[in-house]
Structure formats: structure tokens, C-alpha cells
A and B are shown apart, each in its own frame.
Chain A
Amino acid sequence: MDFSHLVVIAVSSIFINNFVLGRFLGICPFIGVSKKIDSALGMGMAVIFVMTLASVVTYLIQTFVLVRFELQYLQTIAFILVIASLVQFIEMFMKKNMPALYQSLGVFLPLITTNCAVLGVAILNIDATWADGSHYNFIESTWNGFTAGIGFTIALLLMAGIRERLELADIPESMKGTPITFISASLIAMAFLGFSGMSIM
């Protein structure tokens, strides 16, 4: 277990290759659920949770089913099936047994099933290789899922904070709403581009 690998993964997936601002994954919820900081936070927490869990489950499916039976080409279908069912299960479980948590976090779960960031992180975990050709191991995959979720949350919170203020700004009629949101996202993405000069190796 190489600890430096974990640091590299964290810095890379939170800042340099931020899922939303660097990789364009999860744009729909980024635009949809960033109107209020409260809901952005709830969504972010739910994404962190699901991404971590999805990384765990898909790693297991990949290793113990797909690779064992040489079915790697069925990756997409197996992953989406597992992620969708898992999320739905957690949602039902939470609704029944932890209503308080469900109110703040669980309501966002269905939105995450079809969030490309979750399937994206699962596939990236499998595809990613280190320089020596080795793939992410179990802990690295899980960690990548977790930190990618944090990266997503940071982007979402930034956007929500800006949009709450934009609500009060005097914006030309034709730029109100989604257009100005994209322009703001562009500016944040530019700021995040600054991280790409970082040498992490």
C-alpha cells in the first residue's frame, strides 16, 4: 500500500481533474440542484456516499464476476444495473428506518442513479492505471470514489453560493437563469484550470 498514491488520487480528483469542472461529469445536477446552498450540500453529501459505495461494489463486480468470466465488455450493463439497484435499495431503507436522514440526504438519491458522475467514477476506477501498468486496487478505487465525490460537492457548493447572489443581481433578461449559470461555471472552471500546473508526482 503506497500512501503517496492516495494523496495523488485525492489531489487529482478534487482539484486537477475535478469531476464537474475538469471532466464534465455530473453537469445536469450541477446546474439543476445548485440553486440553494442547503440543497446543494444535501446533494453533495449524497453523491459522496453513493460514489464511495458504487466504487466498492463495482470493484467487487469487476474483479469477481467480469474479469473471472472474461466478460469485461459487459461492464456498462452490469455496473449500471448494480448502481441503480443499490441506490434504490438505500433510498427505501433510509426512508423507512432513518426518516430524518432521508429528508436531508435521501431525497437526492434517485437523482444520483442516472448521474453520469457515479457511473463515470466506476469506469474510471477500472480504466485508470499507474505508470507501471498496475490498476487501482480496492482501497485506491474506494478512495478515488470518495474524493471524487468531495470534488463534486466543492464545485456544487461554489456554484450554489454564487447563484444565491446572482439571484439579486441585475442581469440582462436574456442571460437570466441557466445561461448566466454556465458563464459563472466557466469562470470557476478557469480558476480550477490553475491547478493543472501543479506537479503532484
Chain B
Amino acid sequence: MDTTQIITAFLSVGLIGAILGAVLAYASKVFHVEVDPKVEKIAEILPQANCGACGYPGCSGYADAVVTKGTDITLCSPGGQDVIDQIASIMGVEATAGKAMVAYCACNGTKENAKDRFEYYGPEKCSSAVFVSGGHKACDYGCLGFGECVEACTFGAMYMDEKTGLPVVIDEKCVGCGACVRACPKDVMKLMPKDSKVYIACNSKAKGKEVSDSCKVGCIGCKICTLPNTTPSGAVKMEGDLPVINYELPDDLVAAKYKCPKSCFIDKGDAEKSAEEIAKEKADWKAADAEKTAAAKKAALEKAEAAKAAKEAGM
């Protein structure tokens, strides 16, 4: 046995290690860049095998994607369940701190409601169908109904309703990760706060005539919902020819729901009620509204008269 050889081996490789260690330690100080602490935390948990199995450039790349883009947290195969749980706990803390969101389908173009332009016989995928002159639906903005969003959901929080041909989100299971939003080629899937009830079930930015030709329940851009006496809070604003709800402003939007000529405002609470109940509620509201309008009219009239009287008195 040759001791000098062992010593040479020890020293030479040891020195390589020491030099590299020193350089790296120094570099990590000099070249330090501030990053989101969450990214660092997740990167810490990931196995650092940098194998690329997740499809992202290395563990830190994946950590960054999870935090900034809301990527699926289950992609790390070397880490297994342990890592998923830990990331979930980090991201979970964050999710409750912010506002919990759920996905919804901003289209009510069921098989009955929306017309088709032609029959489509391609691969049954939304992203394929889009390539054939924007899809087979007469409406350029509506749901194509092949359920790519459902496939994208890793939480089992969505299913396709066979009857309507539209995706349905199960609010209890939805974590608001936005995977379906990214999957949809028509941008029909959107996110809304979990505690809000009403959403606009139309995505069409087309003009009124065009919309009513292609869909029974499409928004024609009449702007009723944005009028001050419909939504005094100003929570609904037009963006082009489509109203958008600002969920930051508190409003029950009941007036908009009943006033919308195309019934584009959908109340999630209605799903549990029977048709009669809904009809009754609507009738009640209409009566109340009529009363209110009458009262308002009367008040306005009185006000005008009072003003007139004051004017006359002043003269």
C-alpha cells in the first residue's frame, strides 16, 4: 500500500474541493439576488436533483413557476408525496392569506342556446378545434365544449355536463389554481372570489346583432347592468361591448341579474332552488322594483315640483 499516493489524492482533490467551496461561498455573497422568500422555501424542499422531469428548468425554475405562475404542485416525481404535501402547506398558507378564488365558465352557450356554424369532425380537443376557422361555434368567444379545462384540472373539481356541453366547476373542490384558465384556448374560463355568488356567463365581445344571431343568451352590450339605478355601487363596468364585474366593490347584483334582457348574470345560489322558487323570487323582486321605481318616480316628481315651487317662490 502506498501512503504517499493516498496523501496526494487527499490533498489534490481536497484542494480542488476547498477552492471551489471558497469560490462558491464567496460568489453566493457577492452575486446574491433577492428573490421571493416563498420561491426559496419551495426550492429548499425540492430534491435538487435538477432532473427536469417536471418540465421546468431545474428545481428553482419549478419553484419559481409554482409561486409566480401557479403551476401544478404535483409535478415533482423524485420528491414524491412528501414534497407535494410540503409545497401544498407553503402555498396553502399563502392561499388563505390572499382571497380564495374559484373558476367559472363565462359562457352559457349550451347546445340549445348557441348555434353551430358547421359540423366539426376533428380531434376532440378545444385546441385542435380552434384551428378550424376559430371553432365550430357560431360565436367566436364561446365555449367549444371538448373539456380541455376538465382535463387540465388536477383536483377533480370539474366535469363536463353531457346535456349542456359545458364544463361545470365544483366550487368545494376548486382551489383556484387557474390551470383550466390557462388550458382554455377561448379564454372562457375565468376566476372569481369564492364568496361571491353572481357572475356574467358570457364572453362575447361582439356587437349586439352578431351575438343575438349566434346565441340566445349572449350579452348584446345593452349596458342596462351598468346603469346607476341598476348597480349604484358601480361594480359593473363596460369593457368594450362586454360588462365586467369588479368583485372588490360590495354589491349583490340582484338588480342586474333580473334586468339583463339575456339573463347573462348567473347566481350560483339559484342552482339549489327550484324553478318555482326562482320564478317567485323574480316576481317578488319585480314587484318590489316596480314599487321602488314608482316611489322613485314619485319622489323625483315631488322633488321636481318642490324645486319648481321653490323656484316660483324665489321669483
Contact = CB atoms under 8 A, between A and B. Distances in A.
A20 to B, nearest CB: 13
B30 A96 contact: yes
A interface residue count range (under 10 / 10 to 19 / 20 to 34 / 35 or more): 35 or more
Contacts of B27: 89, 92-93
A111 B125 contact: no
Nearest to A32: B52
A43 to B, nearest CB: 7
B28 A113 contact: no
Nearest to A169: B123
B134 interface: no
A170 B125 contact: yes
A81 B17 contact: yes
B54 A65 contact: no
B24 A33 contact: no
Interface in A86-143: 88-89, 92-93, 95-97, 107-114
Nearest to B128: A168
B71 to A, nearest CB: 13
A46 B186 CA distance: 34
A1 interface: no
Given A81-B20, A85-B20, A111 B33 contact: no
Contacts of A93: 27, 31
Contacts of B8: 69, 71
B53 interface: yes
A86 to B, nearest CB: 8
B124 A170 contact: yes
A151 interface: no
B189 interface: no
Interface in B1-58: 5, 8-9, 12-13, 16-17, 20-21, 23-24, 27-28, 30-33, 49-55, 57-58
A70 interface: yes
Nearest to A111: B58
B198 interface: no
A25 to B, nearest CB: 14
B61 A111 contact: yes
Contacts of B33: 95-96
Given A168-B131, A169-B123, A39 B23 contact: no
Query: What are the 5 tightest A-B residue pairs by CB atom distance, in nearest-first order?
Result: A32-B52, A170-B123, A110-B58, A96-B31, A85-B20
Given A28-B51, A32-B55, A108-B57, A92 B31 contact: yes
B214 interface: no
B143 interface: no
B153 to A, nearest CB: 16
A168 B51 contact: no
Given A29-B52, A89-B24, A168-B131, A65 B58 contact: no
B242 interface: no
A77 interface: yes
A43 B57 contact: yes
B215 to A, nearest CB: 26
Contacts of A89: 23-24, 27
A27 to B, nearest CB: 10
